[in-house]
Structure 1
């Protein structure tokens, strides 16, 4: 399985730095349950069908009986669950992120799900 890496301007100038596209750099340091995070590794490629089904089951358990989700891939709850699974962090961490980071991470999750 290949890692998605792109060259940075430093690498293009002949230096050997690469950036792992799976790494999401938070807009500012974020502390959750006593641990400070500056980035999250969103390894969507490591997820299995079982992981996605488990996320769907969690989403169904979290929703009220009246909520209908016709396309789970566009549900923010499902996207957050998938992102948490890809980052190997609790869903509560994803929900506690600043809105800017939460939104950007969910876009990445949705791109994976709809890609």
Structure 2
């Protein structure tokens, strides 16, 4: 019998533990739509992170917090600088979701 993989939608509203203000706009949640991403988004995130100086990204992409933050930014359609400005609990929460998306 052929085994089928259960499809899981990777879109959710992530309610922030602590509201963050970025470029004059306040954020209390992020809409993380991982299903809207394409291979090009992943490639562009790799380039973006390597330009930020994370030398480990090329070898350990999925486990790089900075790469996960770049993926979250693309999924939420916000700049990566906003993700990096999140409270540590929120930063960890969204990057864990990116890791789960990348490794499932």
Aligned counterparts of 1:90 and 1:54: Cα–Cα separation in 2 = 13
> For residues 64-93 of structure 1, what are the alpha-carbon distances to aligned partners after superposition, in whole Å with 9 as ceiling and x for unaligned?
6xx334220000110000000000001110
Aligned counterparts of 2:61 and 2:18: Cα–Cα separation in 1 = 30
The 8 Å contact of residues 49 and 70 in structure 2, kept in 1 or not, is answered as: yes
> For residues 10-46 of structure 1, what are the alpha-carbon distances to aligned partners after superposition, in whole Å with 9 as ceiling and x for unaligned?
xxxxxxxxxxx51000013221121111110000000
Give the match for residue 3 of structure 2: none
Q: Which has the higher contact order (CA 8 A, sep 6+)?
A: 2
How many residues end up aligned between the 2 structures? 97
Q: TM-score, normalised by structure 2?
A: 0.84
2:77 counterpart of 1:88: yes
Q: CA RMSD in A?
A: 2.0
Aligned counterparts of 2:26 and 2:67: Cα–Cα separation in 1 = 25
- Which has the larger Rg? 1
Q: TM-score, normalised by structure 1?
A: 0.77
Mind listing any 5+ residue stretches in structure 1 that lack a counterpart? Answer: 5-20
Give the match for residue 87 of structure 2: 98
